[in-house]
Each structure stands twice: as C-alpha cells, then as structure tokens.
C-alpha cells in the first residue's frame, strides 16, 4: 500500500513535466517577446544555426551575440557568399539545377578540409530545378577557411 502511495505521488509530481511549457505573457514591450524567443531557441532541438541569426533576441544574449559577431567577421559571412563559393568550387553552372543554402552547421570534430571542431560551415544543396526538391549535390563551405568540400555526388 505504501508503494502505491509513492507511485501516485510521483505521478502527480511528474504530471507537470508532460505539459507543454507555459508561454510568458508580456506586460508590455519587445523585451519580453525577445526573451520568450530566446527561450524557444534554447528549448528547441535544432542544429541549424541560422535560427539564431533570425532571432532578434540573439543580439542581446552574450553567448549568441558573440556567435553573430564571429560570423559577421568570418571569411564567408552570408548565405550569398556561401553559394558563390560553392558554385566556384563545383566549376559548372547548369540551367537544370538550383543552388540553395539549407543550413549553417557546426563541426563536431576537426576536418582537414574545413576546419577545427566548433567551426561553422554553410550547407549548400544543389537541387533539380524541375522539382526543386531532389538533391543533385551537397557542398559544405567553411566560414573560417573559405574552403569548400563536395560531399555529394
């Protein structure tokens, strides 16, 4: 009987864990909205660092603002530059393909062609223009070394 009481109390305590987190209500001003925006980034299971660039709250957070500044002063600071570098490495432009930056990733371990662990790379996908979905190629462009590596084909 005692174990049943323990199980019931544990379930009662854990029932709050399964609920979706409550959204902060702002009493006024963009600061509260920015705060909830950062909370969403911290909570999210994401690997695409472009979400940080799109967040207005990142400019006010010490960790993320350092990342944004580091990217601004890198050798490949924008998606446009990443696309240009990927095209120059591939050597050919085909009217049947479209080029799109799909993510800004962070290297988990050193790569002799791209950089050290923790460095950022742009993922550029070469898509078939007819469907704009089927991947015809995949190229990573390092933000620190400006090197590009063709991963596919």
35-77 pLDDT, tens digit per residue, is 556 666 555 545 778 888 777 887 788 878 888 888 889 999 9
| Pick from 88, 125, 89: nearest CA to 105 | 125
Residues 42 and 106 in one domain: no
Flag whether 22 is in a domain: no
148 and 83 fall within a common domain: yes
Name the strands in the sheet holding 148-152, side by side, starting at the edge strand that comes first in the sequence.
Answer: 97-106, 120-128, 135-142, 148-152
Whether residue 20 is predicted with pLDDT greater than 80 in this model: the reply is: no
Domain that residue 143 falls in: 79-152
- Do the beta carbons of residue 138 and residue 103 sit within 8 Å? no
Q: Assess whether pLDDT exceeds 60 at residue 9.
A: no
Triad 134, 135, 140: Cα angle to 5°: 160
- The residue ranking higher by pLDDT, 58 or 113, is 113
Contact indicator for 151, 130 with CB cutoff of 8 Å: no
Model-level pTM greater than 0.85? no
């Amino acid at each position: 009987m005692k174990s049943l009481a323990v199980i019931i109390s544990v379930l009662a305590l854990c029932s709050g864990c399964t609920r979706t987190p409550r959204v902060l209500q702002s009493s006024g001003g963009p600061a509260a909205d920015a705060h909830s925006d950062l909370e969403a980034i911290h909570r999210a299971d994401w690997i695409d660092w472009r979400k940080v660039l799109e967040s207005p709250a990142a400019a006010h957070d010490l960790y993320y603002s350092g990342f944004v500044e580091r990217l601004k002063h890198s050798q490949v600071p924008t998606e446009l530059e990443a696309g240009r570098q990927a095209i120059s490495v591939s050597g050919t432009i085909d009217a049947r393909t479209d080029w799109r930056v799909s993510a800004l990733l962070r290297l988990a371990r050193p790569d002799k062609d791209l950089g050290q662990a923790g460095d950022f790379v742009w993922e550029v996908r070469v898509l078939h223009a007819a469907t704009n979905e089927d991947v015809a190629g995949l190229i990573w462009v390092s933000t620190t070394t400006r090197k590009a590596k063709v991963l596919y084909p």
